[in-house]
Amino acid sequence: MKFLGNRVTALPLAALAATLAFGAPQAGAQGLFDMLFGGGIRHDPQGEFPPPPKNKPKPKVPAGGGAKISSPSYYTYKADKLVRVDFSTLAATPQPATAQDAAFVPSVTGAAFRDAIAGLGDYELYAEPDIAKALIAYYSANPDFIWVTGTSPNSRAQDAVRVLGEAASYGLTPADYTVDVPAATSSATDDAAKVKELVRFEMALSARVLRYAHDAQNGRVEPNRMTGYYDFPAKPLDMAGVLKTLAHTQEVRTYLESRHPQNAEYQALRVELEALQASAENEIVVDPKLLLKPGETSPELPKLLTLISRNLDDEMGGTYGEMLSRLATSEVYVPELVPLIKAVQVKEGMKGDGVIGPRTVALLAGTSKADRLLKVQVALEELRWLPSDLGSPRVFINQPAFTASYIDNGEEKLKTRVVVGRVTNQTAFFYNQIKQVDFHPYWGVPQSIIVNEMLPRLRNDPGYLDRAGYEVTDSRGNRIPSSAVDWGAYGSNIPYSVRQQPSEANALGELKILFPNKHAIYMHDTPQKSFFKQDMRALSHGCVRLQDPRGMAAAVLGTSVDYVAEKLRHGHSTEDVTRKIPVYVAYFTAWPDMSGKVEYFNDVYDRDTRLKQALDATEAVRTPSI
């Protein structure tokens, strides 16, 4: 089950921030939750609870008391094995007209095709199982050539081969779609050999065209096989229908290119890919793991100073130009350089702390060409998992960028910082539709947090939920005091629900925005505002915390921030979102801004590496194919 929401604070925010700043170990959840739930702000419970039993013995932890609810896992990716296409059914007695496609009209080459089928008897063509099935289904119902006219490949075939050969411009691997094209002057010694060569070309090209159409629309990797964090609906492709369309059109290029996502982001990534493929590697390469504090020494520092000098604008040049020229070769991070580094960091949207770390290096030196190429190719693959038309309006959350945007009619109307799940409690990658805004919400504590983080404390202090403003209900919805529950009697199957009442200390803050999904992830406010000042904001249990929750709520409701403020003045309520607004809880380490400029981000969850492994596994299966 997915962790979600945030740690609920029962401490003043300043104390909580201090606790986090001094590195309270996440693994020691009980110590932190003792502070969060055991004291500080106290709430009177709503309604009358019966008093807890007196002299209740300390509960014993059962054998399953150490049980945990696990987060989703990553899997070793296994691509579909190729199968040999079984042409024996095509070579059998010709199908009666009633078994053929009703729209099929035999051409003058129809008879030649039926005669040519005999040449497939010992042909070893390997393809994905659904493609192999589609080939037989199509040609059984439409026994004629698509790609051959007379004794040579036709113009339709020439267009298809060209498109397949340009696969690299989409981040695909051209070798996956390679087909040997019969030469105009064939080396075949007789007519029978020529016919065999042509019919085998026909089948090979159809198989590779279908692979291309599938990869363009769906991607080469089935994302849900990679990890439980990915959740994408199927994108069905009628493969026999693809061949039928191609058999009746001369616009082969237009059709095949239309299988790719048709959005501006995909096109911007293609432009970036082309530029990267044509560019030279960075001539100044800085150690991407550099960590340099004032007073320390590193031979990497002069490289960074050179890069800063190249990009100085007039204002920065007037302030720091002379100093940069004087200290250009310094390997010591002297105090005089600290204001310069802070100014550069702030200009790039970072926290100006003066510490030169991997994020500062990435902003100043960029990532290597190979790394950027991989990020763009991965992003193109991931975009194929999404709808071709992303929709307008829409909400787009990009986890590696730690941002959420509301986009309408090609314009980014709102962009706000977000906090996403920690590496141990990752936010999933999926899309859905926004349904509702809750004002002053209750927080239904996930079972994973109850079991993994609250239960150790509850076994020793069963009444602390009562003191901290939580409601406990049984399976029938009846409220009971936390102190009356024998929490030590359960492992990971807790037959009670826990929710936090609306309050200033509520983990969800003043509102949440829901889009129902099996991961129980949503957007919400948070009392922990200090997290938004950090550059690395993978800090939650999995839900998406918004720096500007009122702005996002107003955007999705199609109203104003003043309206949202007025709703909040009237306490707990909900309001449905009546428009269709898709929300993408996405993960892209390369993503274009609204002007088309591609920005690069750290691979917070190491998912690019895992996708590269899945792509390699797919290539390993396809390599021996004919």
- Specify whether 94 is located in the same domain as 193: yes
Does residue 421 belong to any structural domain of this protein? yes
The Cα 349–Cα 343 span in angstroms is: 10
CA atoms of 204 and 198, how far apart (whole Å) = 10
Q: Are residues 453 and 563 in the same domain?
A: yes
d(CA 623, CA 626): 8
What mean pLDDT comes out for the span 573-596?
97
Per the omega criterion (within 30 degrees of 0), is the bond before 592 cis? Answer: no
Read off the tokens for 225. 């096989």
Residue 248 token pair: 């009746």
As to burial, measured by CB atoms within 10 angstroms (0-12 exposed, 13-18 middle, 19+ buried), residue 232 is middle
What pLDDT was estimated at residue 34? Answer: 34
- 377 assigned to some structural domain: no
**pLDDT exceeds 90 at position 281:** no
Phi/psi for 555 (5° steps) reads -65, -50
Tokens of 452: 């993994």
SS3 category, 397: strand
Convert the pLDDT of each residue in 400-445 to its tens digit: 999 999 999 999 999 999 999 999 999 999 999 999 999 999 888 8
* Strand duo 582-586 + 429-433: pairing: antiparallel
Residue 213 has pLDDT above 90, yes or no: yes
In a domain, 154, yes or no: yes
Distance CA(622)–CA(454), nearest Å, equals: 49
Mark whether 249 and 306 lie in a shared domain.
no
Separation CA 13–CA 442 (nearest Å): 19
How many angstroms from the chain centroid is the CA of residue 42? Answer: 40
pLDDT classification of 110: cutoffs 50, 70, 90? low
Least confident range from 184-188, 481-485, 557-561: namely 184-188
Side-by-side strand order, sheet with 470-473: 443-444, 497-500, 470-473, 479-480
* Domain co-membership, 423 together with 351: no
Report yes or no on 397 lying in a domain.
no
Angle at 200 between CA 187 and CA 208, to 5 degrees: 120
Say yes or no: 48 and 123 in one domain. Answer: no
Please report whether residue 107 resides in a domain. yes
Note whether 131 and 156 are same-domain residues. Answer: yes
Q: Cβ(566)–Cβ(550) under 8 Å? A: no
Looking at per-residue pLDDT, the higher value among 415 and 541 belongs to 415
- CA dist., res. 563 & res. 556, Å (int): 12
Element (H, E) at 65: none
**How far is Cα 168 from Cα 183, in angstroms, rounded to an integer?**
24
Query: Which of 229-233, 476-480, 537-541 has the lowest average pLDDT?
Result: 476-480
Average pLDDT on 269-285 reads 86
511-514/470-473 β-pairing: unpaired
- The residue type found at 45 is P
Q: Are residues 134 and 41 in the same domain?
A: no
Same domain, residue pair 578 and 444: yes
In a domain, 248, yes or no: yes
Q: Are residues 65 and 92 in the same domain?
A: no
Distance, CA of 140 to CA of 99 (rounded, Å):
8
User: Does residue 228 form part of some domain?
Assistant: no
- Quote the distance between the C-alpha of residue 594 and its chain's center: 19
pTM summary value: 0.77
- Structural domain for 358, as ranges: 301-365
Domain count, the chain: 3
Please check whether residue 423 lies inside any domain of the structure. Answer: yes
Do 312 and 435 belong to one domain?
A: no
Does residue 295 register a pLDDT over 80?
Answer: yes
Same domain, 568 and 448: yes
Q: What DSSP designation does 44 have? A: P
Do 194 and 342 lie in one domain? The reply is no
